[in-house]
Amino acid sequence: MILKNAMKKLPVELVEAAIRRQEAVLLANGSIDAQTGKFTGRSPHDKYFVDFPDCPLPHSMHQWLSEQQFEQLLVRVRQHLEEKGSFLFDGAVNQHPEYRVPVRFYTEYAWHNLFVQRLFLAGKEGEVPAYTVYVAPTLMASPDRDGTRSGTFIVLHTGRRIALIGGTQYAGEIKKSIFSLMHHHLTEQRVLPMHCSASMGEQGDVSLFFGLSGTGKTTLSADPVRRLIGDDEHGWSDKGVFNMENGCYAKCIDLSVKKEPDIYNAIRFGTVLENVGYDGLRNPLFEDRTLTENTRAAYPLKFIRNRVPEGHGGHPTAIVFLSADATGVLPAVARLSPEDARRHYLLGYTSKVAGTERGIVEPEATFSACFGSPFLTERPVQYADMLMERLERYKVPVYLLNTGWVGGGYGEIARIPLTITRQLVHLALSGVLETLPSYRDEELFITVPEHVPGIPDPFLRPATSFADGQVYQHRHQQLAQAFADKLIALGATVASLNKVLE
């Protein structure tokens, strides 16, 4: 069903419409800046899947609405968009032509339509949309009638291939709804969906960087000596790695031309900013935290100078898991056997530190299975098994890189310098770390080089770097126990691991 009042607009027309409708303001650098009101991030507790006959998704993992509840909400969303008017974009996801999926977007706001045009591929003549996304930020659900927790709703129907988004202006919900749908769609085609960045070296070698927010995923993939494939969402098929998107959705808190020149220079006419402050001359104030620390910039990949235009490459030659460990227990770098890689992939470990969230007064271990737990549709072990099969088939080395603190915790010593981290990345990607003598830490599932050329030994030996050895032992024991408890909860048994490795 096509909405009658939906308008197709070019990006420049959407900029005009967003300003005219007072949805956003034009800044001095040419970008538009929108405020998202109450919600400046995702609302994971307001996300639902639809329960339909023979639905293959695991029920214990998700919140559910019935078919009847979905249908009633769908009718209301369509009526709302017909009455308010909407903007239409026929786009697509997945850069590899064999896995390309056409998607139709209806958005109530002009700036949301510009957002999806920045992040996704343009549609082609004659393509029939496989998925449809309806975005109605000013429509609120009724919990009593619709079965929702609140007025906000993100509802995904994998059978009918429809997403409904309402009661929130935060554009990241649109992006991540597509990512969630692709977790199911691509898995059915035996393609591994991945929450990672990807880059390509001069010889065509592909590297992947997995990591949660704040671990350096975007920063490390934006390497001057490598070309960017994508910064966030990828698939790994029998053909190789491809970017699901055609744009970037970068955090821009404290952004500067010195620290992140590629991202800074990508913020220009046609870029969408969210919740960024600005001065009286309409210059963006990237250090402004008035509205949120989760300030964002959405821009097309073509705004990045050093990129892979086709958006895909071959099979990875190296994979890096990133963790910003605030306990100081993890070394700066470690090698992971296939068994280790599976465990750390299921763990998706990093640390929250004091000040990042209300109520956190000391470092707190944080886990997100497959480095993207909120977007998984199937059980984490299924994705882990798919990763293991690929690691074995293509003989891909995997490394764990600590981008946090070594030899002391957050607030006790300085964070690992970015120069050290970048040097370790280059050494890992070159294969040098594979040949070095090492020691084993069985409890944390890592093998650590004893010495690395150019890297001070204290970064490799946390046990000897702590001022108090008993503090190290205590924190090490705590982290090891947290790892073990999490793996047991995920069902990552030795039996399932051995089955994959046979």
Please give the positions annotated as active site: 42, 176, 195, 213, 217-218, 232, 296
Question: What distance in Å separates the CA atoms of residue 268 and residue 273, rounded to the nearest whole number?
Answer: 10
Q: Residues, the chain, total? A: 502
- Structure token digits, residue 116: 């999806």
CA max distance for the chain: 70
Amino acid in the structure at residue 446: I
- Provide the token pair at 393: 């088939």
> Which H, E and C letters describe 321-386, residue by residue?
EEECCCCCCCCCEEEECHHHHHHHHHHCEEEECCCCCCCCCCCEEEECHHHCHHHCCCCHHHHHHH
At residue 351, φ and ψ (nearest 5 deg) are -125, 140
314/111 Cα distance (integer angstroms)? 35
Task: Tell me how far CA of residue 321 lies from CA of 63, 191, 218, in angstroms.
Answer: 29, 20, 13
- DSSP bridge pairs for 89: 105
Q: Which residues contact 321 (CB under 8 A, 6 or more apart)?
A: 210, 211, 336, 341, 344, 345, 371, 398, 399, 400, 401
Pairing of strands 131-136, 101-107: parallel
Please classify residue 57 by burial: count the beta carbons closer than 10 Å to its beta carbon, then call 0-12 exposed, 13-18 middle and 19+ buried.
buried
Rounded CA gap, 340 and 109, in Å? 46
In Å, what is the CA distance from 429 to each residue of 32, 350, 398, 405, 454?
A: 38, 22, 10, 22, 16
Under 8 Å between Cβ of 245 and 96: no
- The alpha carbon of 26 is separated from its chain's Cα centroid by a whole number of angstroms, namely 28
Angle between helices 338-347 and 494-501 (to 10 degrees): 130
Residue 234's closest CA among 204, 191, 203, 266? Answer: 191
